[in-house]
Structure 1
């Protein structure tokens, strides 16, 4: 999944087909980082498979880590425009936040697996927002798209939307 997802992300960038609401360099980092976090949380859940407290919570957080593209397709991009990454992130954290609320209401405390998972997703978002806007991400993007139509697309600039924008 990590390999195919990363290759798909690179192919989209090489075709110059990154959605207008993402910085192309940010997009090239976001999906692989999400999948790496998913795998890490899934491995944690597998290691804790006999622990009825940790296993399902880590699994849910892992699934939430890769929900970004799903929310990207469900949310109305023209309304969010260049805040789409943040909007998808809010959808992603809804899962661990719901688990936190459930634990607090049901048990009077929050299991540490939720904090671990939520913290991991917050780090993912922070890395995507900061590193994805850096010269490092721009260089990674440039290297990934060299010699392809994506090379004509600046990695650290938003593309024009496919519809007119009112001034």
Structure 2
């Protein structure tokens, strides 16, 4: 599953560049964000390889590096999203206020599940399942680049959510087949992901959420963007518009 998640990320992001939808002419912090997030992906795969080879001591030592790395992932995720919204760079298949809270809350969910997995590191049955649920959240942006989200407006976020849930669902079914029951860690992990998905819409469209959005974009180009309207697609890219 670690390799599958890395493959989704490795395929999803370069595809944007190869199709001419992305460019290297972006702010430095966007590149830093990319290096840190993809570095975390490789680190996660490495930790799984070490366990598979029974290199438990090294796995545990590196785990503390991972704890700090995960904290950086959360911080950069919050910062980079705010920077994108401030310059009016929200993808056209998400309303800007929704995009802001979608990224913020999902990266916080990643941080929360990863922290819980670290706390429960000696209970390996919980640890590995919660780590997977945390990691699978980070595949969301990659799935967003693989799925035809312009054709899924206004349900693009739910399409990404469905894709993200594929691997945890496989894990649950595997548990059921092997042991006759689903391990409770899956329910906590997938329950967190589902709860966050619902919470995004509640918070983003609330008066408090809109007030936070206004504060984030104050004095920047994003201030001139309607937070409740889907941005226009790039020139030459036609797609359905919400009614």
Does TM, scored on the shorter chain, surpass 0.5? yes
CA contact (8 A) 2:150 2:239 kept: no
Distance 1:147 1:153, change over 3 A: same
What is the match of residue 13 of structure 1?
85
Q: Among 80, 97, 106, which residue is 2:169 paired with?
A: 97
RMSD over equivalenced CA pairs, Å: 1.5
Deviation at 1:166, TM superposition (A): 6.3
Deviates more, 1:126-135 or 1:12-21: 126-135
Deviation at 1:104, TM superposition (A): 0.6
What is the match of residue 49 of structure 1?
121
Deviates more, 1:9-18 or 1:153-162: 153-162
Deviation at 1:165, TM superposition (A): 4.2
CA contact (8 A) 1:138 1:156 kept: no
| Bigger Rg, which one | 2
CA contact (8 A) 1:45 1:56 kept: yes
Deviation at 1:147, TM superposition (A): 0.9
CA contact (8 A) 1:45 1:55 kept: yes
Count of matched residue pairs? 167
Per-residue Cα deviation, 1:19-73 (whole angstroms, up to 9, x for no partner): 0111101111111211111111111111111222111100001112222211111
TM-score in terms of structure 2 length: 0.65
Unaligned runs of 5+ in 2: 1-72
Per-residue Cα deviation, 1:61-97 (whole angstroms, up to 9, x for no partner): 1112222211111112222122110011011111211
1:64-143 superposed matches below 5 A: 64-143=136-215
Segments of 4+ moved more than 3 angstroms: 164-167
Distance 1:25 1:104, change over 3 A: same
Higher relative contact order (CA 8 A, sep 6+): 1
TM-score in terms of structure 1 length: 0.93
CA contact (8 A) 1:67 1:92 kept: yes
